[in-house]
């Protein structure tokens, strides 16, 4: 049609640009991974420049514009919990089977799992179960830096004592999912890790404070 009716082509091109401007399609942008990062693209976000957010049990289904951005950076998760003899279930998680992260307990042991695109996974878990009662569990991740999607070292401490440490070789530079969202006290979508009998936390979560470290 372009060769047979060039005037019609010009008219269609002009119409496209007119409608694209009307419905805010412009500017056209062929970047893929970068467009998932609001900060990188200069888009405003609900959280703005916050580097610390406190979440509580029952908050779930939090999208990427509500849950603090943990991509390509160092961060920590500090949780106040009360557990029985066999604490089990999710403290806080984001994503799911095809990419995500989760701080949880299994058979009384604090653990952290990182799921890379559903292709590979890293797990850091304490050797011993926690005693019944109140504890402060902290997961601290130190990002290697040097670009997007790099790895880092994760450490779990309980009441100020280090109980586990491990490497996460690579992380996802983009969003985990648009429908497997962030939850506190449960993993409501597909599961990031194998939690055992249930993803629902069988103790009490006071609060979970997440801090991003620049």
Does the global pTM surpass 0.95? no
Dmax over CA atoms of the chain, in Å, equals: 80
- Which band of pLDDT confidence, cut at 50, 70 and 90, is reported for residue 92? very high
Domains defined along the chain, listed by start: 51-213 (2.60.120.200)
- Report the 10 Å Cβ neighbour count for 167: 11
- The better pLDDT of the pair 16, 177 is held by 16
DSSP state, residue 35: G
**What is the C-alpha separation between 12 and 103, in angstroms, rounded?**
53
- Which band of pLDDT confidence, cut at 50, 70 and 90, is reported for residue 98? very high
**What is the C-alpha separation between 10 and 102, in angstroms, rounded?**
53
pLDDT in tens, 105-130: 999 999 999 999 988 999 999 999 99
Do the beta carbons of residue 166 and residue 153 sit within 8 Å?
yes
Flag whether pLDDT at 40 surpasses 80. Answer: no
């Amino acid at each position: 049609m372009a060769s047979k009716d060039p005037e019609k082509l010009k008219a269609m091109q002009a119409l496209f640009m007119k409608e694209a401007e009307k419905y805010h399609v412009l500017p056209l942008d062929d970047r893929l991974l970068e467009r998932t990062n609001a900060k990188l693209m200069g888009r405003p976000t609900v959280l703005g420049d916050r580097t610390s957010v406190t979440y509580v049990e029952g908050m779930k289904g939090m999208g990427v514009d509500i849950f603090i951005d943990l991509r390509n950076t160092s961060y920590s998760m500090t949780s106040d919990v009360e557990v029985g003899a066999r604490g089990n279930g999710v403290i806080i998680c984001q994503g799911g089977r095809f990419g995500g992260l989760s701080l949880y307990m299994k058979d009384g042991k604090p653990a952290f799992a990182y799921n890379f695109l559903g292709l590979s996974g890293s797990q850091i878990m304490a050797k011993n179960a926690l005693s019944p009662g109140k504890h402060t569990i902290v997961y601290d991740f130190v990002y290697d830096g040097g670009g997007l999607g790099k790895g880092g070292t994760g450490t779990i401490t309980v009441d100020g004592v280090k109980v586990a440490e491990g490497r996460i070789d690579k992380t996802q530079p983009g969003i985990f999912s648009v429908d497997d969202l962030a939850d506190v006290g449960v993993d409501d979508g597909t599961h990031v890790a194998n939690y055992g009998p249930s993803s629902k936390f069988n103790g009490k979560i006071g609060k979970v404070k997440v801090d991003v470290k620049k």
